[in-house]
Amino acid sequence: MIPENKKKAVAHALQSTFGVNEFDEIHELTAGLSSALVFKIIIDSKPYLLRIITRTDAMADPTHEYICMKAAAETGIAPKVWYANVDERISIIDFVEAKPFPITEAKVKMPDLLKRLHTLPPFPFRINYLDKMDEFVARFREAKMIPGKLATGIFDAYAKIKEVYPRDSHDWVACHNDLKPENTLFDGERVWLVDWEAAFLNDPYLDLAISASFIVGNDAEERDYLKVYFGKEADNYQHARFFLMRQLLHLFYTVVFMQLGKAPDKPLDFNIPLPGFREYHDLIWAGNVSLANADNKLLYAHVHMEQLRRNLRLKRFEDSLLIVSKGAEG
């Protein structure tokens, strides 16, 4: 189960950490989209999570990942780190036995957890997320995967957001950037964040937007969500910036998942019946939909695109553009 070229390194990790050369049990975990190998291992009747990074390109360098993971673990946001070797790309952390995470609890616990995460010492800078999004959107637009009129409306709206949305890093913070349900583990009392591969210094509104896709369903829930995060009622600028980041996220997920899910020899169907945005995210949250499936990736892209189109027709879109263009003090 452990790759042959990693067996020696894993044995070293076990010996140096626990004083044993092998585990009592091992079970491979397959949830998630990462290329890393993830295992639940048992040592002296206690479970741990063993993660082996298998990619060899520059982006797979876990230096930043381990820095962020350790910082989060020290404050109880991530499970305890027992071993992390950058050269071998192997880590061992406490295993969290995940239990169902009721949405009602998540609505309070998640913004509070994000507030704690975002007050950690700044994570290392890796990329400008918005600049990287520009690159993805540009390539997607050149590929002409979306019909002309539909594409024009979406990309025109994107240009409007780009024009006003803050792109400098003066208020960026330590961010996880990949808050999907399988990375958000609830043990019955506490929430733990795992898989820090995508963590870096970023706009805090991105973490807020990702989590909100699963737990914020209306304006009242948004007000409560942001109130927990900010510790007081959010102002007009904060609501507007949050709204615009959500639209950027809808577009980014449309771009990424449509390319990941499209079959090379099959044209895209823009008339397929779609589940509602809230409905589909509830299914993902409950573990009833896996985005490792290509068809589900494609459906997820369409769900985000449809929600984006709906939101762009709202008066709130133009209002948010105006508010954010004036800045926090406007």
Q: What is the CATH number of the domain that holds 213?
A: 3.90.1200.10
Same domain, 10 and 137: no
Taking residues 9-15, report their average pLDDT. Answer: 96
Same domain, 244 and 167: yes
Query: Based on C-alpha coordinates, what's the Rg of the chain?
Result: 21
- Looking at the DSSP bridge assignments, the partners of residue 83 are 92
Same domain, 88 and 154: no
State yes or no: pLDDT of 190 exceeds 80: yes
Same domain, 56 and 200: no
State yes or no: pLDDT of 213 exceeds 60: yes
Interatomic CA distance for residues 319 and 117, integer angstroms:
30
Q: What residues make up the domain containing 36?
A: 4-94
- What is the count of structural domains for the chain? 2
State yes or no: pLDDT of 87 exceeds 70: yes
What's the pLDDT score for residue 57? 59
pLDDT band at 329 (very low <50, low <70, confident <90, very high): low
State pLDDT tens for residues 288-304: 999 988 999 999 999 99
Same domain, 250 and 286: yes
Same domain, 162 and 292: yes
Same domain, 164 and 237: yes
Same domain, 232 and 124: yes
Same domain, 61 and 180: no
Average pLDDT for the chain:
93
State pLDDT tens for residues 234-269: 999 999 999 999 999 999 999 999 999 888 878 888
216-245 b/e (C-beta count within 10 Å ≥ 16 → b): bbeeeebeebbebbeeeebeebbbbbbbbb
Picking from 77, 94, 111, the residue at the C-terminal end of a domain is: 94
State pLDDT tens for residues 21-71: 999 999 999 765 567 899 999 999 999 999 999 876 555 679 999 999 999
Q: For the chain, give percent helix, strand, coil, nearest 5.
A: 50, 10, 35
